[in-house]
Structure 1
Amino acid sequence: MSTTKLRRQGSSIVVTIPASEAKDLDLNTEYIVKTDEHGNISLIPKLDNPFKNAKPGEYNEEDVWADMKPAGKEVW
């Protein structure tokens, strides 16, 4: 286990990750930074928008329940 400290650089806080701990991280990936109530910092790889190149209606599904009538106490 390695240790590190936070430091201020301009209007940002910088965390230096030791190379031994970052060997599986891609330096060209943009990360979302999330901190929780315990002070844990998570780096989450930012994904491209999967809908960016979608054609209109491509992700719509047919409404297979449209012709079903309620059979019990369902809200209609």
Structure 2
Amino acid sequence: MLTTKLRKQGSSVVVTIPASEAKNLDMNVEYIVRTDKNGNISLIPKLDNPFKKAEPGEYYEKDVWADMKPAGKEVW
């Protein structure tokens, strides 16, 4: 098991990941950093907005419930 320490660099905190452990990480990707209540740190690859290049109406779905009438005690 490898260990590391946090260190302060300017107004940031740095954690060094040994290259042998980072071989599956893409150095050209921006990551979202998340820490949980137990102090676990997760690096989540930041994805581009999938709707950025979408054509108008590309993600539209027809309202299949529009013609349905109430059948019981639903509030209409």
Give TM-score, length-normalised by structure 2.
Answer: 0.93
Give distance in 1, aligned partners of 2:25 and 2:75: 50
Residue segments in structure 2 that go unaligned for 5+ positions in a row? none
Q: Which amino acid in structure 1 is aligned with residue 64 of structure 2? A: V
Give distance in 1, aligned partners of 2:15 and 2:3: 10
Fraction of identical pairs, as percent: 83
Within a 5 Å distance, the mapping from 1:23-34 to structure 2 comes to 23-34=23-34
Deviations 1:5-64 (A, max 9, x none): 000111100000011211111111110000111111000000000000111221111001
Number of aligned residues: 76
Which position in structure 2 is the counterpart of 1:69?
69
Deviation at 1:75, TM superposition (A): 2.6
Residue segments in structure 1 that go unaligned for 5+ positions in a row? none
Give TM-score, length-normalised by structure 1.
Answer: 0.93
Deviation at 1:73, TM superposition (A): 2.1
Provide the aligned C-alpha RMSD in A: 0.9
